[in-house]
Protein backbone atom coordinates (compact mmCIF):
# COMPACT_ATOMS: atom_id res chain seq x y z
CA UNK A 1 0.00 0.00 0.00
CA UNK A 2 2.82 2.40 0.86
CA UNK A 3 4.57 1.66 -2.45
CA UNK A 4 1.36 2.37 -4.36
CA UNK A 5 0.86 5.66 -2.53
CA UNK A 6 4.48 6.68 -3.15
CA UNK A 7 4.16 5.78 -6.83
CA UNK A 8 1.01 7.88 -7.17
CA UNK A 9 2.71 10.86 -5.52
CA UNK A 10 5.70 10.59 -7.86
CA UNK A 11 3.50 10.31 -10.94
CA UNK A 12 1.52 13.38 -9.85
CA UNK A 13 4.68 15.38 -9.24
CA UNK A 14 6.14 14.38 -12.59
CA UNK A 15 2.93 15.29 -14.41
CA UNK A 16 2.70 18.69 -12.73
CA UNK A 17 6.35 19.47 -13.51
CA UNK A 18 6.01 18.53 -17.15
CA UNK A 19 2.76 20.45 -17.60
CA UNK A 20 4.26 23.70 -16.26
CA UNK A 21 6.88 23.34 -18.97
CA UNK A 22 4.47 22.73 -21.87
CA UNK A 23 1.09 24.24 -20.99
CA UNK A 24 0.37 27.85 -20.16
CA UNK A 25 -0.82 28.15 -16.56
CA UNK A 26 -3.36 30.73 -15.39
CA UNK A 27 -0.44 32.78 -14.00
CA UNK A 28 1.47 32.42 -17.25
CA UNK A 29 -1.52 33.66 -19.27
CA UNK A 30 -1.25 36.98 -17.44
CA UNK A 31 2.34 37.51 -18.64
CA UNK A 32 2.86 39.20 -21.99
CA UNK A 33 6.08 38.89 -23.96
CA UNK A 34 7.51 42.16 -25.29
CA UNK A 35 10.11 42.86 -28.00
CA UNK A 36 11.73 45.83 -26.24
CA UNK A 37 13.00 45.99 -22.67
CA UNK A 38 10.23 47.82 -20.78
CA UNK A 39 10.82 51.18 -19.15
CA UNK A 40 9.14 52.36 -15.96
CA UNK A 41 8.65 48.77 -14.83
CA UNK A 42 9.98 46.99 -11.78
CA UNK A 43 12.21 43.98 -12.54
CA UNK A 44 11.18 40.91 -10.57
CA UNK A 45 14.07 38.69 -11.57
CA UNK A 46 15.52 36.37 -14.19
CA UNK A 47 13.75 33.24 -15.40
CA UNK A 48 14.96 30.41 -17.60
CA UNK A 49 12.46 28.62 -19.79
CA UNK A 50 13.47 25.14 -20.97
CA UNK A 51 12.31 22.70 -23.60
CA UNK A 52 14.11 19.42 -24.20
CA UNK A 53 12.53 18.88 -27.65
CA UNK A 54 14.00 22.03 -29.21
CA UNK A 55 10.83 24.13 -29.25
CA UNK A 56 11.49 27.80 -28.60
CA UNK A 57 7.74 28.42 -28.25
CA UNK A 58 7.44 25.85 -25.45
CA UNK A 59 10.54 27.26 -23.74
CA UNK A 60 8.79 30.66 -23.80
CA UNK A 61 5.65 29.06 -22.33
CA UNK A 62 7.79 27.69 -19.49
CA UNK A 63 9.40 31.12 -18.96
CA UNK A 64 5.97 32.81 -18.88
CA UNK A 65 4.75 30.29 -16.29
CA UNK A 66 7.80 30.90 -14.11
CA UNK A 67 7.42 34.69 -14.43
CA UNK A 68 3.74 34.41 -13.53
CA UNK A 69 4.63 32.51 -10.35
CA UNK A 70 6.72 35.57 -9.40
CA UNK A 71 3.69 37.85 -9.98
CA UNK A 72 5.27 39.40 -13.08
CA UNK A 73 3.04 40.68 -15.87
CA UNK A 74 5.68 41.29 -18.56
CA UNK A 75 8.54 39.20 -19.93
CA UNK A 76 11.48 40.38 -22.00
CA UNK A 77 13.56 37.66 -23.67
CA UNK A 78 17.24 38.42 -23.22
CA UNK A 79 18.61 35.43 -25.12
CA UNK A 80 17.75 32.05 -26.61
CA UNK A 81 20.25 29.22 -26.54
CA UNK A 82 20.13 26.04 -28.60
CA UNK A 83 22.01 23.08 -27.10
CA UNK A 84 21.48 20.13 -29.39
CA UNK A 85 17.80 19.27 -29.01
CA UNK A 86 17.47 21.38 -25.88
CA UNK A 87 16.24 25.00 -26.12
CA UNK A 88 16.76 27.57 -23.34
CA UNK A 89 15.14 30.99 -23.12
CA UNK A 90 16.79 33.44 -20.74
CA UNK A 91 14.44 36.28 -19.82
CA UNK A 92 13.80 39.09 -17.37
CA UNK A 93 10.42 39.26 -15.64
CA UNK A 94 8.88 42.66 -14.85
CA UNK A 95 5.88 44.14 -13.08
CA UNK A 96 4.54 46.93 -15.27
CA UNK A 97 0.90 47.05 -14.06
CA UNK A 98 -0.39 47.83 -17.53
| Environment class of 35 (CB within 10 Å of its CB; exposed 0-12, middle 13-18, buried 19+) | exposed
Predicted local distance difference test score (pLDDT) of residue 5: 44
Torsion angle (degrees, nearest 10) of CA 57, 61, 64, 65: -170
Q: What is the mean pLDDT of each run of 10 residues along the chain (98 residues)?
A: 47 48 94 97 98 96 98 98 95 93
Predicted local distance difference test score (pLDDT) of residue 11: 46
Predicted local distance difference test score (pLDDT) of residue 20: 64
Predicted local distance difference test score (pLDDT) of residue 6: 45
What domains are defined for the chain?
2-95 (3.30.1660.10)
Q: CA-CA distances (angstroms) from residue 22 to 1, 6, 38, 39, 47?
A: 32, 25, 26, 29, 15
Amino acid sequence: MTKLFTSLILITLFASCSSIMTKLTSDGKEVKVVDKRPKNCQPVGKVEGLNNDGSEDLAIVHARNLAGKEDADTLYIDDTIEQGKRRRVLATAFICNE
